[in-house]
Amino acid sequence: MKLLKLLLLATATMSILTACGGSDDDDLDDRLNIADPKLRFVHAVPAGPNVTLYRNGNAEADATDVGYKYASQYYDIGEGNSALELKTADGAISVGSNSFDAQRGHKYTSVALIGDGKADVMLVDDPYNKGITSDNARVRVVNAAFNAQNVDVYLTDPGVDLATQTARFAAVPYKTAKPDSGSDSEELEGQTYQIRVTEAGTQNVIFNATADLPANADWLLLVVPADGIGALVPNNVKVLVAKSDDDTKATLELTNTP
């Protein structure tokens, strides 16, 4: 009888997820927090070289010899220690490294970004504690812009006066995620949003765009330098969107509307 109840619950839940647009990366085991740990790689270095991500000494098939704006889908990895190292495409030069204890139910994102005049790497841990019947979208911000050391990010209804709003993601330092790595992404209703990036603590808008955020979407918004390593004009930024269910394996570059 207990097994039958579990099967009925699973069937009902899968029907709900299908009806509200759940993707292959948003299955029942993900929502029950029992899925195998997953990893993805995002290349967020404008005009940067192709790179390869190594895990425990082996090149990752989903992140080998990839260039700017590449974003793999999440793929399963084993539980336990994972040592990541980002290298140039030929494996000759190490760019940076991270280590983490991969845990069931968690999703991890390795991000290549601009460091102090060169490429660097950071890691984001997403526990993915999403309600079984929720159709909210999930959003997280990463400040990958070395030339914008601290930013506020607003997501509002289009055309709303910024002076009446509070930043959804406030004071995001360079090489940092908000919500913090290890915390759940922010849940928002699926709708059209105006995305504005400002210098932290001010309403000086340095990036402005409008985007449609679907129900059940899982977006990582990456603030990056507009012109790459060689042209780091302060606060000259753009925004990339890494979508967890996008099989094109490419980030979406939003168009700035000053």
Q: How confident is the model over 107-159, as pLDDT tens digits? A: 999 999 998 777 899 999 999 988 888 899 999 999 999 999 999 999 999 99
Residue 18 pLDDT > 70, yes or no?
no
Q: Is the peptide bond before 37 cis (omega within 30 degrees of 0)?
A: no
∠ CA 152-227-158, nearest 5°, is 40
Domains identified in the chain, total number: 1
Residue 196 pLDDT > 50, yes or no?
yes
Within a domain: 84: yes
Closest by CA to 51, choosing from 108, 99, 102, 97, is 97
Question: pLDDT tens digits for 154-195?
Answer: 999 999 999 999 999 999 999 999 999 999 999 999 999 999
Q: Identify the bridge partners of residue 123 per DSSP, sorted by sequence position.
A: 110
Within a domain: 207: yes
Give the count of beta carbons closer than 10 Å to the beta carbon of residue 5: 9
Within a domain: 15: yes
How far apart are alpha carbons 85 and 187 in whole angstroms? Answer: 31
Q: Identify the bridge partners of residue 54 per DSSP, sorted by sequence position.
A: 59, 85
Helices and strands per DSSP (H, E), number in the chain: 2, 18
Query: Which domain does 122 fall in, by range?
Result: 2-253
Within a domain: 203: yes
Within a domain: 258: no
Q: What average pLDDT does this structure show over 57-80?
A: 96
Within a domain: 82: yes
Predicted model pTM:
0.89
Q: What average pLDDT does this structure show over 16-41?
A: 71
How far apart are alpha carbons 212 and 103 in whole angstroms? Answer: 32
Report pLDDT for 231: 65
Closest by CA to 85, choosing from 125, 112, 62, is 112
Residue 33 pLDDT > 80, yes or no?
no
